[in-house]
């Protein structure tokens, strides 16, 4: 299948303050140490969450992918993916960039292509997946505040996004869009061979195509991302989450002991969610304490 036949995706945000976070389960199942066994010419690596990365200052953004594609001047390109997903709108922009690239696009799912990373993968002319790799699709979700009209506006827009994604998966697999919507509703995980059987990928990667790179993802980065997602699940706005994590990172007085309890109302959060927050906070503090200057 040529990617030119795939539908374009809407890339605009409904509002500037709306973003979509990655799935906590995808983050838990993501092994950031998985990399391509060998570097090749004209390769784009998507090894991080999609969208702005608080720790690196950029992350896998459309700006970065656009610059990489421009430097290749229309040549064939390999896109290596091992990502838990992230911002759906940034992912849609990246999907469109790859879809419009003039050269052949070969996608290699080395470990995980979840959420936003899964539909980025669909932009490949040829999609290869590791036997032990996974592809996960689900509906977009976000945290948003406002009155009922503003929230309804965002919900309606997300429904349009989900329909657009289901359409992309439908064209790629050849199955009805309603089937794709049911898979997305259920948050469906597919191992390598299943992804091929269902039409989401074309062939398995050779067993020697991947490697483990021990220092690929630092403990403090993973811990911070996990804490960020858990806080998002509890309804904390992105700006407050970033501020809290920055306070903990810099050792601001009171942040380490009281940040999560002050930022959210413990009476409104289930006990297991509070336990998750406390475990994530402890993990983050332990990881951050090993970094010089943190």
- Apex CA 65: angle with CA 153 and CA 25, to 5°? 60
Q: Which of 23, 83, 115, 118 is catalytic?
A: 115
Contact 234, 21 (CB under 8 A): no
Distance CA 226, CA 224 (A): 5
115 is catalytic: yes
The number of CA neighbours under 13 Å toward the Cβ of 136 is: 26
Buried b or exposed e, range 220-240, using 16+ CB within 10 angstroms: bbbbbbbbbbbbbbbebebee
Q: Which backbone phi and psi does 203 adopt, to 5 degrees?
A: -160, 165
The number of CA neighbours under 13 Å toward the Cβ of 124 is: 27
Tell me how long the chain is. 294
The SS3 call for residue 146 is coil
258 is catalytic: no
Distance CA 291, CA 221 (A): 11
Distance CA 170, CA 164 (A): 10
Q: Which of 19, 23, 83, 138 is catalytic?
A: 138
- DSSP per-residue string spanning 20-38: BPPPHHHHHH--TTEEESS
Q: Which of 116, 243, 122, 103 is nearest to 173 (CA)?
A: 122
Q: Which backbone phi and psi does 28 adopt, to 5 degrees?
A: -65, -35
Residues with catalytic annotation?
A: 115, 138
């Amino acid at each position: 299948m040529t990617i030119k036949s795939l539908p374009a995706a809407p890339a605009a945000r409904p509002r500037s303050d709306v973003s979509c976070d990655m799935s906590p389960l995808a983050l838990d199942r993501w092994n950031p140490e998985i990399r391509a066994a060998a570097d090749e010419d004209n390769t784009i690596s998507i090894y991080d969450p999609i969208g702005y990365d608080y720790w690196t200052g950029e992350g896998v953004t459309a700006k970065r992918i656009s610059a990489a594609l421009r430097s290749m001047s229309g040549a064939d390109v390999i896109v290596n993916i091992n990502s838990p997903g992230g911002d759906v709108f940034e992912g849609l922009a990246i999907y469109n960039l790859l879809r419009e690239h003039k050269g052949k696009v070969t996608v290699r799912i080395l470990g995980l292509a979840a959420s936003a990373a899964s539909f980025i993968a669909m932009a490949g002319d040829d999609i290869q997946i590791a036997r032990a790799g996974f592809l996960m699709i689900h509906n977009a979700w976000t945290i948003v505040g406002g009155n009922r009209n503003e929230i309804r506006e965002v919900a309606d827009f997300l429904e349009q996004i989900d329909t657009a994604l289901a359409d992309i998966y439908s064209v790629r697999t050849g199955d009805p869009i309603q089937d794709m919507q049911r898979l997305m509703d259920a948050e469906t995980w597919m191992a390598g061979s299943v992804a091929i059987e269902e039409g989401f990928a074309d062939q398995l990667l050779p067993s020697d195509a991947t490697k483990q790179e021990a220092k690929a993802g630092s403990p403090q980065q993973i811990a911070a991302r996990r804490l960020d997602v858990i806080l998002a699940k509890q309804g904390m706005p992105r700006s407050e989450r970033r501020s809290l994590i920055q306070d903990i990172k810099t050792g601001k007085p009171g942040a380490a002991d009281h940040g999560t309890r002050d930022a959210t109302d413990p009476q409104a959060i289930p006990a297991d969610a509070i336990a998750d927050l406390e475990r994530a906070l402890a993990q983050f503090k332990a990881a951050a304490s090993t970094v010089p200057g943190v």
